[in-house]
A and B are shown apart, each in its own frame.
Chain A
Amino acid sequence: AQSVTQLDSQVPVFEEAPVELRCNYSSSVSVYLFWYVQYPNQGLQLLLKYLSGSTLVESINGFEAEFNKSQTSFHLRKPSVHISDTAEYFCAVSEDNAGNMLTFGGGTRLMVKP
């Protein structure tokens, strides 16, 4: 069975600084990987996904994540954060043989300070 670990529950960072939110997973089969963002009092929005192909995937608002199979990781990065990036970020995994069910990590609260 798959599991997802987000090592940092909270990441405080100053505006315009770079940030990395870590995500590791465990699975014995091929996986699909996702990052979702949850702004205060809102639902989950897909930020980016890895299904196949290039291991580096990007979002429209400057985030990127790299699938590293050997390290079973899918860390999320942004070179320069904005106040508006303050939110909860969830890493999620779907196994190839488990339908479309998502297993979520515990979430990382990104707090961008001015």
Chain B
Amino acid sequence: EPEVTQTPSHQVTQMGQEVILRCVPISNHLYFYWYRQILGQKVEFLVSFYNNEISEKSEIFDDQFSVERPDGSNFTLKIRSTKLEDSAMYFCASSGDDRQAFFGQGTRLTVV
């Protein structure tokens, strides 16, 4: 069964450092997403990406965040200058036209 793959599974970074979270969506999907889940809180939408551009983004997705699909297979989330409150589980997801989103296993980001 096709799956969304995320790397790394766990990343520890110092406050102020840049991090890049990587995702390989399902190959024939056209829509890509990032969500995050702060420990003990809801899963929150960050951004959606379609046709090589951002289609929607939430208030959380400020100038510190960016997404890219650099090579037609990977989908990355970059946080330019991490803050303690960026510590969370970050989920990548992808979907086709049927609105069924498939999620990756997540990357646990810990900012120290």
Q: Which residues of A contact B (CB under 8 A)?
A: 32, 34, 36, 42-46, 49, 51, 90, 92, 94, 98-107
Instruction: Give the Cβ gap from B63 to chain A, nearest Cβ, in Å.
Output: 20
Consensus secondary structure, chain B interface: strand
Contacts of B33 in A (CB 8 A): 100-102
Asked if B99 contacts A104 (CB within 8 A), the reply is: no
Shortest beta-carbon contacts, A-B, top 5 = A44-B103, A43-B105, A104-B43, A43-B103, A106-B42
Known: A44-B43, A44-B91, A104-B42. A99 touches B48 (CB 8 A): yes
Cα of A49 to Cα of B101 in the assembled complex, Å: 10
Cα of A34 to Cα of B101 in the assembled complex, Å: 10
In the complex, whether B104 has a CB less than 8 A from a CB of chain A is: yes
Contacts of B65 in A (CB 8 A): none
Q: Which residues of B contact A (CB under 8 A)?
A: 4, 6, 31, 33, 35, 41-45, 48, 50, 55-56, 91, 93, 95, 98-106
Known: A44-B43, A100-B48, A101-B45. A94 touches B99 (CB 8 A): yes
Asked if A46 contacts B43 (CB within 8 A), the reply is: no
Cα of A102 to Cα of B4 in the assembled complex, Å: 17
Asked if B102 contacts A46 (CB within 8 A), the reply is: yes
Contacts of A92 in B (CB 8 A): 43
Provide 8 A-B residue pairs closer than 8 Å at the C-beta atoms, listed in order of the A residue.
Answer: A43-B103, A43-B104, A44-B91, A46-B102, A90-B43, A100-B31, A101-B33, A102-B43
